[in-house]
Structure 1
């Protein structure tokens, strides 16, 4: 059992897994491209089926010419708080395999891209930053804006930066600004059987 960040695990896991969470309050400080690329470097070392590495990251740093473009591709509720992130990113995965699979569809491309996102989130936390993954993005508009070809899938968005006091948020988001808990492990892990919700 591990306790950290107002969370408690059932088994003795490393506290870094409890310390990682998805805040909405960011300082809005400008960071260097090297700082972001360091986090992305960790992400691109994630495991992937047949080493296909299907993940792709589109990013923009606050203060750059591209930041407002990425911000506008989030749903309005996320734009409200993500405008204070130091960087915004979109995760895209390639849905077909390369030479090892003779160009066949990749069944695990989303799974692998999700693993890369997980590595990104953990390296962010280890480096003094936070990352908030978002499903609330304009998937079709992202495909058009960046001329992403068929065979790729826009998976999610990410807001990235340093943690700010929740007072920078609207009242609605202040009420939501805390590390979320998890279901009991027994509700998601089953020994030799499957149990639907």
Structure 2
């Protein structure tokens, strides 16, 4: 895949926010520049220090670098749509969480929230390193659970693709290429999700 100049996105924030958050976005093409095992472990270390309910740290990550057997095993668990682009990532993760508390009797209702906090740390750390992250709901979670020998009290929730910004969008189909090249990012207005009082529809 030929290299291109990284796409610069416009993020029209209503208030000034930290640049690493403002500049982060989720491409579907990546540079061919390798990501090392040390860099993967740096990302994992950032996630390791995320807050979690009762310090349970319920996240569990299976990771693979491109060219390895583990990378291929994760890739094979992805849904067809994501297989169409994720193969150009340099690193793939399968992200899971432990569903129950240490006593095994009570459900950990906050485990998915904690996995999200873990990945939030990872995304910010990755951005500081010039590495892009694209998280995916499209993973065969039952297949991945079996493939990687997760017990029944674990759930494989997502996958994540990592690579440096700067891939060639011409390798994508027309619809995805259009999304990739779209200049301005968008989000809901604060007034649609944050209420200083009662919930509003």
TM-score over 0.5 for the alignment?
Answer: yes
Aligned equivalents of 2:105, 2:159: Cα separation in 1? 27
Q: 2:28 aligns with which of 24, 29, 50?
A: 24
1:30/1:16 Cα in 2 relative to 1: closer, same or farther (>3 Å)?
closer
Query: What whole-Å deviation, never above 9, does each CA across 1:130-177 have from its counterpart, x for those lacking one?
Result: 000000111110011112111111111000011213223232211111
TM-score, scaled relative to structure 2: 0.89
Match of 1:149 in 2: 151
Deviation at 1:103, TM superposition (A): 5.0
Aligned equivalents of 2:37, 2:114: Cα separation in 1? 24
- Kindly report which structure 2 residues correspond to 1:21-170, keeping only aligned pairs within 5 A, or say none: 21-98=25-102, 104-163=106-165, 164-170=167-173
Gaps of 5+ in 1: none
- Kindly report which structure 2 residues correspond to 1:174-193, keeping only aligned pairs within 5 A, or say none: 174-177=177-180, 178=182, 180-193=185-198
1:50/1:103 Cα in 2 relative to 1: closer, same or farther (>3 Å)?
farther
- Say whether residues 1:173 and 2:176 are aligned partners: yes
1:53/1:190 Cα in 2 relative to 1: closer, same or farther (>3 Å)?
same
Aligned equivalents of 1:30, 1:17: Cα separation in 2? 23
Aligned equivalents of 2:107, 2:32: Cα separation in 1? 40
Aligned pairs, number? 191
Query: What whole-Å deviation, never above 9, does each CA across 1:44-67 have from its counterpart, x for those lacking one?
Result: 111000100000101110011222
Deviation at 1:10, TM superposition (A): 1.2
TM-score, scaled relative to structure 1: 0.91
Structure 1 stretch displaced more, 181-190 or 161-170:
161-170
